[in-house]
């Protein structure tokens, strides 16, 4: 196999080739600018010598054992509830999901529990998580894969872990992002550990498919949408308040308490009746008001920094080395793309799903997705209207605005994640941010593609300060130095133009 240094897809496919060709001679040649003919010839000669060695197994004898559940295979009798296939897979098992952030993880747990599935969120990652992930990964995968793999491996080390009563899940995607390979990569690692019978569930969510709804049921999806919107609204109020709080820690406490109360309402509201939705809305309204009531001191204004990028790294404080609080400690106020999944889902619903059904000549399905889109927009507007001032200026981006904004920079069909990032970058420039921090992971294909676009847009906006920070799990001291220099640039830009 011929590859090149830093090739994103091959960071996963190399493992699959090793698995499929186990016991059979095979060669991987990695080419970069420094490759020499002598070294290449030596490796080719050695490889040719191995071809004379008999293979240890025949390809027919291989049993990969890499089956994963990523999509519903047939119709379901009740579209509102989890599919029969998922219920059979999870019969007698607890489902585990990696920790991402309070807003994403607590809400996901509540939504899945609301449809009767026993689910638990794993503890936040730490140094041991990182160590285990790097031990069982190839090493060239993106950092979120390594951390989530470490989460699952650490789960198997727990004294009460029972593979016959456990299953793991993570979101899946069929676009350009390497997230599309996480499910299979995790399954391969579990197989190597001797746990190949532990189900790995990775519902595909993309422009063409919504297998999360098909597997977990529409009731779960609806609860998840409302809950993530609520968490995102609460986080925006948190970020607009915390830098100015008079009592350190008071905003974080109010935010976490609010997330717990919202999750409790979601988990206990298994029926979709008007009073259940009214209760959720009133809860979110009260929690937002609670954070707004926290005593603050805004005599000294702060420059605003927009943060966007790879969603796991942006949301997970371990993965980003507590980036948000670092920037706040340096004197900035942070604006963020939010949970990110919400804007991706809204883009899929507004621009792609109904269109895809019409292309397949399924008018009833197209009509359903159109109705669902209106419902999603209604809830987004209602919850975002609870915010005002600094906390309410960054909202979910709708597909019409996205397509109009990105037309000069990138084609929407290249990848919807890149599309949403470019649109958010442009939105930040209109919302008075004095700098943008683009959070990347090492060798991320989407980041490498979009960063040149961002640099061009920044140059067109009075050379708006732009910092691209790659995260790969190494606790680099120079990251703090770069952040300090960046905030100084931001403060200068604020003084000159805003």
Using one digit for the tens of pLDDT, what is the confidence trace for 163-209? 999 999 999 988 788 888 899 999 999 999 999 999 999 999 888 88
- Range 324-338 average pLDDT: 95
The 10s digit of each residue's pLDDT in 206-249 is: 888 899 999 999 999 999 999 999 999 999 999 999 999 999 99
Torsions phi, psi for 437 (to 5 deg): -105, 115
Spell out the CATH class of 84-215. alpha beta
pLDDT class of 57 with cuts at 50, 70, 90: low
Q: What is 162-220 written as a DSSP string?
A: -GGGEEEE--B--SSSGGGGHHHHHHHHHHHTT-TTS-EE--BBSSS-BHHHHHH-HHH
Q: Which residue has the tokens 């490796």?
A: 43
- The pLDDT of residue 33 is 66
Task: Classify the phi-psi angles of 81: left when phi > 0, otherwise alpha if psi is within -120 to 50, otherwise beta.
Answer: beta
Q: How many CB atoms lie within 10 A of CB 298?
A: 11
* Structural domain boundaries in the chain: 2-61, 84-215, 223-301, 302-498
User: Over 80: is that where the pLDDT of 287 sits?
Assistant: yes
| DSSP letter, residue 125 | P
pLDDT class of 34 with cuts at 50, 70, 90: low
Q: In the structure encoding, which two tokens stand for residue 66, read together?
A: 């890499």
| DSSP letter, residue 37 | H
> Could you give the CA distance from residue 479 to residue 231 in angstroms, rounded to a whole number?
29
Which position has the higher pLDDT, 52 or 278?
A: 278
The predicted model scores a pTM of: 0.91
Percentage of the chain exceeding pLDDT 90 = 64
pLDDT class of 276 with cuts at 50, 70, 90: confident
> Could you give the CA distance from residue 232 to residue 240 in angstroms, rounded to a whole number?
12
The closest alpha carbon to 171, from 134, 200, 136, 191, belongs to 200
> Could you give the CA distance from residue 480 to residue 463 in angstroms, rounded to a whole number?
22
- Range 453-458 average pLDDT: 97
- The pLDDT of residue 269 is 74
- Range 423-446 average pLDDT: 93
- The pLDDT of residue 36 is 67
User: Over 80: is that where the pLDDT of 277 sits?
Assistant: yes
pLDDT class of 53 with cuts at 50, 70, 90: low
pLDDT class of 109 with cuts at 50, 70, 90: very high
- The pLDDT of residue 244 is 97
- The pLDDT of residue 272 is 55
Asked if 422 contacts 410 with a C-beta cutoff of 8 angstroms, the reply is yes
Rounded to the nearest integer, the mean pLDDT of the chain is 89
């Amino acid at each position: 196999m011929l590859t090149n240094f830093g090739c994103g897809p091959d960071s996963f496919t190399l493992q699959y080739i090793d698995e499929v060709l186990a016991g059979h001679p095979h060669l991987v040649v990695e080419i970069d600018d420094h490759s020499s003919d002598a070294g290449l010839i030596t490796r080719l000669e050695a490889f040719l010598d191995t071809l004379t060695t008999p293979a240890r197994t025949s390809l027919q004898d291989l049993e990969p054992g890499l089956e994963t559940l990523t999509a519903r295979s047939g119709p379901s009798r009740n579209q509102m509830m989890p599919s029969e296939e998922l219920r059979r897979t999870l019969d007698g098992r607890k489902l585990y999901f990696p920790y991402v952030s309070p807003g994403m993880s607590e809400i996901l747990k509540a939504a899945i529990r609301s449809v009767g599935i026993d689910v638990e969120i794993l503890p936040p990652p730490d140094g041991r998580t990182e160590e285990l992930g790097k031990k069982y990964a190839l090493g060239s995968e993106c950092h979120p894969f390594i951390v989530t793999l470490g989460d699952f491996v650490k789960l198997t080390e727990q004294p009460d872990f029972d593979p016959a009563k456990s299953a793991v899940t993570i979101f899946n995607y069929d676009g350009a992002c390497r997230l599309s390979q996480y499910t299979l990569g995790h399954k391969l690692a579990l197989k190597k550990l001797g746990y190949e019978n532990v189900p790995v569930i990775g519902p595909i969510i993309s422009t063409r498919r919504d297998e999360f709804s098909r597997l977990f049921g529409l009731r779960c999806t609806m609860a998840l949408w409302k809950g993530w919107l609520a968490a995102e609204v609460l986080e925006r109020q948190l970020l607009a308040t915390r830098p100015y709080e008079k009592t350190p820690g008071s905003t974080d406490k109010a935010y976490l308490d609010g997330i717990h109360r919202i999750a409790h309402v979601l988990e206990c509201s298994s029926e979709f009746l008007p009073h259940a939705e009214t209760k959720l809305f009133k809860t979110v309204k009260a929690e937002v008001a609670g954070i707004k009531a926290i005593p603050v001191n805004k005599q000294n204004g702060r420059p605003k920094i927009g943060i966007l990028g790879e969603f796991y790294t942006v949301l997970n404080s371990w993965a980003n080395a507590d980036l948000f609080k670092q920037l706040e400690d340096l004197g900035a106020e942070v604006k963020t793309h939010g949970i990110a999944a919400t804007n991706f889902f809204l883009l899929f619903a507004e621009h792609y799903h109904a269109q895809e059904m019409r292309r397949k000549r399924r008018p009833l399905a197209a009509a359903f997705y159109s109705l669902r889109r209106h419902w999603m927009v209604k809830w987004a507007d209602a919850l975002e209207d609870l915010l005002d001032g600094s906390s309410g200026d960054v909202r979910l981006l709708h597909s019409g605005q996205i397509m109009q904004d990105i037309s000069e920079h990138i084609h929407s069909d290249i990848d919807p994640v890149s599309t949403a990032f470019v649109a958010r970058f442009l939105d930040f420039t209109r919302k008075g941010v004095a700098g943008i921090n683009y959070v990347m992971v090492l060798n991320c294909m989407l980041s490498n593609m979009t960063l040149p676009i961002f640099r061009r847009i920044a140059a067109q906006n009075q050379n708006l300060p732009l910092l691209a920070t790659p995260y790969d799990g190494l606790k680099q001291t120079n990251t703090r130095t770069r952040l300090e220099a960046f905030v100084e640039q931001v403060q200068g830009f604020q003084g000159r133009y805003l």
